[in-house]
Amino acid sequence: MRMVTLQKWLCGVLLWVGAAAVCAQNYPSKNITLIVPYAAGGSGDIRGRQLAQKLTAILGKPVIVENKAGAGGNIGTDFVAKAAPDGYTIGTGNFAPLSVNAALFKNLPFNPRIDVLPVVLIERGPLVLMVNPKSPYMSVKDVVEAARARPGALSAANGGIGGSHHLSAELFKQAAGLDIISVAYKGGAPGATDLMAGNVDMMFEQMYAAAPSIASGKLRPLAMTGSRRLALYPDIPTFAELGFPQVEVLNWQGIIVPKGTPAAIIARLNEAVNRALNDPDLREKITSQGNEVAGGTPQEFAALIASESEKWGRVVREAKIKPE
């Protein structure tokens, strides 16, 4: 009796595996929804739509972007985590929800290390420390000296608690031993506006967003958080050059799928995104903003998420950062 039951169980498993293999071979056979966990019009949304256009041509089925914004990227990422693991609901996996929010939020509705699977990294890009052009601070050294002379007197704008703007400033404060007040805004644009008005002293901003203000002279760049200078901005030094190698921050995003998604489907998506990232048009859109085209394997993306989670978890705990 037990042998018959075991045989039925094995037959069931083999049938399921066979069905999954057939589904993977026929993938995709219908539209794919790409969840972007941020609002329409932002950088994540724009890149998602650019990538979706390329994937539509490569996969032969429409890839449709759907925005599910809120809670620092948690709502959209949770939606992906709870979707059917069939490859027809995929998402962009971003810096904050995958590597920061588990340390920041007490009751995160998903586990970024278990409930979603990495497919491929799309891009990463540095941030730049900026001041008002009328500011007396002409260098990072000037900022450090002023902050040490007047603890708690200087202020740094950010685009929201736990975002890359905020955490870059916290990492800088920890590396240099500074007491600088963090001022949170509802997005990077309002913070940059207040910086241009002279209401705050400095701000770490993503390079793509800072570029127009730097080019027009409305803001002065002091240093960037990448590991090397950008060819587009050869005069902006890195923090490592200035004696703060710990201040290395790359804002990033990639593609994720729900846990349980068949390996063959993940491989198909990985291959398709890597092909898209080799498209000259998409590469130019990424690099012209000061970002780096990524690509690679799911394992490489998983390793990045693990290392970033450890790094930013430590920063959040040491700074005792709490969500708004």
Q: Which CATH architecture has domain 28-123+252-319?
A: 3-Layer(aba) Sandwich (3.40)
Asked if the domains 28-123+252-319 and 126-224 are classified in one and the same CATH topology, the answer is yes
CA 57 to mean position of chain CA atoms:
25
CA distance 139 to 130: 10
CA distance 49 to 47: 5
pLDDT above 70 for 283: yes
CA distance 236 to 221: 7
Which class is 126-224 in CATH? alpha beta
Using the 8-state DSSP alphabet, how is residue 152 labeled? T
Enter the pTM of the model: 0.88
Q: Which of 20-29, 49-58, 256-265, 298-307 has the lowest mean pLDDT?
A: 20-29
| Local confidence band at 203 (pLDDT 50, 70, 90 cut-offs) | very high
Q: Which of 37, 68, 19, 25 is nearest to 265 (CA)?
A: 25
Gyration radius (Cα) of the chain, Å: 22
Highest mean predicted confidence (pLDDT) among 70-74, 228-232, 275-279: 275-279
CA distance 247 to 69: 29
pLDDT tens-digit map of 208-252: 889 999 999 999 999 999 999 999 899 999 999 999 999 999 999
CA distance 238 to 246: 11
| Local confidence band at 98 (pLDDT 50, 70, 90 cut-offs) | very high
pLDDT above 50 for 152: yes
pLDDT at 72: 87
Give the amino acid at 127: L
pLDDT tens-digit map of 9-28: 544 544 444 544 555 679 99
- Tell me the domain boundaries of the chain: 28-123+252-319, 126-224
SS3 content of the chain, % helix, strand, coil (to 5): 45, 20, 35
Q: Which of 48, 96, 46, 88 is nearest to 70 (CA)?
A: 96
| Local confidence band at 186 (pLDDT 50, 70, 90 cut-offs) | confident
